[in-house]
Amino acid sequence: MARQQPEPAQVAPDSPPASRKKLFLLIGAGLLALLLSVGAAAYFLLAGEDEASVETPVVATAKPMAAVYQSLDPAFVVNYVHNGRQRYMQVNVVLMGRDPQLMSQLSAHLPLIRNELVMLFSSEEFDALFSPEGKETLRERASLAVKALMEKELGNPVIESALFTNIVLQ
């Protein structure tokens, strides 16, 4: 018997050129869509950075100025009558501001400031001054009184606060 030779495997004909074109078109469209989305994302991220970088230097350069102090010497001495006895309060006051030019203008009004503070201190109740809250309330009222006075005289509050460096009640 004659040997039968196996038939050569049927070779599939090459895929038609139209299906390859479709494949290349689909890959190209996918790449184009990917590039467009990456470009849009980069645009939005970079546009956001530009706006933030414009604001950042403004905030960084707006540092508060150093404090400037004006001492009101001599110390304030105020007398009270409490339960039929003579009582005294002595307070050393220092005014704190940030603008050296405005603080120099403040010194021209020191007699007016001292008068306002003497009137404020003498109007207080002696019993209220013994507690830390009472002293803090008095300090805040003194700050507000000086700010209001300077607003009236100079058109600017000038100071940030009045500080009590020493307070003695007797």
CB atoms within 10 A of CB 78: 19
- For the segment 87-99, the average pLDDT, to the nearest whole number, is 93
Q: Round to whole Å and give the CA distance between 134 and 113.
A: 21
Q: What is the predicted pLDDT for the residue at 49?
A: 54
Does the global pTM surpass 0.85? no
In which band, very low, low, confident or very high, does the pLDDT at 74 lie, cut at 50, 70 and 90?
A: very high
Cα 24 to chain centroid, rounded: 58
- For the segment 84-103, the average pLDDT, to the nearest whole number, is 92
- For the segment 30-49, the average pLDDT, to the nearest whole number, is 75
Q: What is the predicted pLDDT for the residue at 1?
A: 53
Q: What is the predicted pLDDT for the residue at 61?
A: 56
Question: How deeply is 117 buried, as exposed, middle or buried, from its count of CB atoms within 10 A (0-12, 13-18, 19+)?
Answer: buried
* Spatial contact of 164 and 92, defined as CB atoms under 8 Å apart: yes
